[in-house]
Structure 1
């Protein structure tokens, strides 16, 4: 019974498989940085920090199921450029929403607002799926063994949740980090769009990663004023006190 399951998953453990698995985990961690900051920036649409974490947890559970589905059907999905066009359009629409939103007192844009966790969860799941359209090709290129790719994806989603949690905290501390997050979303969206138009126009992965690294450096280049950070962090507590009164 187990032999049949392992055969279906192309399970062949070896030293080479261990090295490939480590490589997949490394790639997932590197490629998850832009995804993590994007999801954290989107989660900022909820004013309650606890609800942000709840939305991320549920959203990434759904995202994990969608990622696995995408990986198992990758050969079929890659035949249809319409999927990449939809993914690119969705990501660029998120960027448009962010940069056309009203600016606050510090002249900073903020992404779309969500009235409840249930409205935010599908946005997180679909955003991760759109990012996965760009990374699934890389994962499959590294290894054709399904169990390795699935294991790497599982660890990647766990890493993504951890990184997104860190970025949620940092978004309150650094002035340009939210804008930087949406700029990286634009990069991924444009990359998917170029793949649809003409794959030869797509820049190499190392150029994209380098550009995202520079953008993130800019995002971390300026801290908010201490009183601004304190006000943001204590806002939920003040609301709870007002409700109690």
Structure 2
């Protein structure tokens, strides 16, 4: 029994680390979505996003057997993230070429508070699916363990369910505080916003890869999204986007302040 508990503790630790990594790109999406709001409303929007993320991850666990079989849900998540990435980058490029508006005197108008909250919650749904699918892939290797006197919860062994839920909720908390930090960085270096939306699009590509590898589509091998080559590719490109974005953002910031 002690060996099983140690195995569960180890998987939980790994899962928290995995959720922390997933939270990094998720937090970028949250940050760019609420950046246009006043600071007090930014915190409220992120708080509502946190509540929504808890709810969606909990619901995703109960529905995981259903979500795994419906590739269209993953496809919608990928399409949503790619859409907001392409749209915002296009709007930024269009704004840069339009000198008829003085951006200092007439700031760009963003979405209303509740529309922003809605966008955050829609992104939460996509992230919940991504997060829970990754958690399932890790936790299903654990031996069965009955918790609370129940064998299964939501069609999943109760011990595995508790580990996945704990890891997912910890990941949500990490995402919330990381998002707040990213908002501060974007306020200091607004030029990084383009790089942030490129990351949003790259996360959308990750969900697209998961969709294409669904067993009912079979465009890509089923295990490809969790393979070492794709994992290394994803994180290498992600870090590359961050590095290039930071270099260009800092350079442009110096030019503007010169």
If the length of structure 2 is used for normalisation, what is the TM-score?
0.74
Displacement of 1:85 in angstroms is: 1.3
1:126 aligned onto 2:117: no
Match of 2:176 in 1: 161
Aligned to 2:6: 15
Asked if the contact 2:195/2:241 (under 8 Å) is kept, the reply is: yes
Q: What secondary structure, in the 3-state scheme, does the structure 1 residue paired with 2:188 have?
A: coil
* 2:191 corresponds to 1:195: no
**1:64: Cα distance to partner?**
1.5
After the TM superposition, which residues 226-237 of structure 1 pair with which residues of structure 2 at under 5 Å, given as runs?
none
Residue 238 of structure 2: which of 205, 208, 212 is its match?
212
Q: 1:154 to 1:13 in 2, by over 3 A?
A: farther
Q: How does 1:70-149 map to 2 (within 5 A)?
A: 70-101=60-91, 102-104=94-96, 113-115=110-112, 117-144=113-140, 145-149=160-164
Aligned equivalent of 2:157: none
Whether the aligned pair in 2 keeps the contact of 1:174 and 1:219 (CA below 8 Å) is: no
Residue 16 of structure 2 is aligned with which of 25, 29, 36? 25
> Which consecutive residues of structure 2, in runs of 5 or more, have no partner in the other structure?
141-159, 213-218
Q: Match for residue 197 of structure 2?
A: 182
Asked whether the equivalents of residues 180 and 216 of structure 1 are also in contact (C-alpha less than 8 Å), the reply is: yes
1:184-235 per-position Cα deviation (integer Å, ceiling 9, x unaligned): 1111212322333323375622321221111112222233648979xxxxxx
Aligned to 1:43: 34
Instruction: Sort the Cα spacing of 1:43 and 1:175 in 2 relative to 1 into closer, same or farther, 3 A.
Output: closer
CA distance in 2: counterparts of 1:77 and 1:63, whole angstroms: 16
The separation in 2 between residues aligned to 1:206 and 1:158, in whole angstroms, is 25
Q: Partners in 2 of 1:112 and 1:95 — Cα distance?
A: 18
Q: Please, which runs of 5 or more residues in structure 1 have no aligned partner?
A: 1-11, 230-245
What value does the CA root-mean-square deviation take over the aligned residues?
Answer: 2.9
Contact residue 97 and residue 112 of structure 1 kept, 8 A: no
**Distance (Å, rounded) in 1 between the aligned partners of 2:85 and 2:242:** 16
Structure-1 separation of matches of 2:75 and 2:232: 22
Match of 2:179, SS? helix
> Which region of structure 1 is more displaced relative to structure 2, 203-212 or 31-40?
203-212
Give the TM-score of the pair, scaled to structure 1: 0.78
Give the structure 2 partner of residue 236 of structure 1.
none
Q: When the two structures are aligned, how many residues end up with a matched partner?
A: 215
When structure 1 is superposed on structure 2, of 195-204 and 28-37 the one drifting more is 195-204
- Whole-Å separation in 1 of the counterparts to 2:165 and 2:246: 33
The DSSP-based 3-state class of the residue aligned with 2:196 is helix
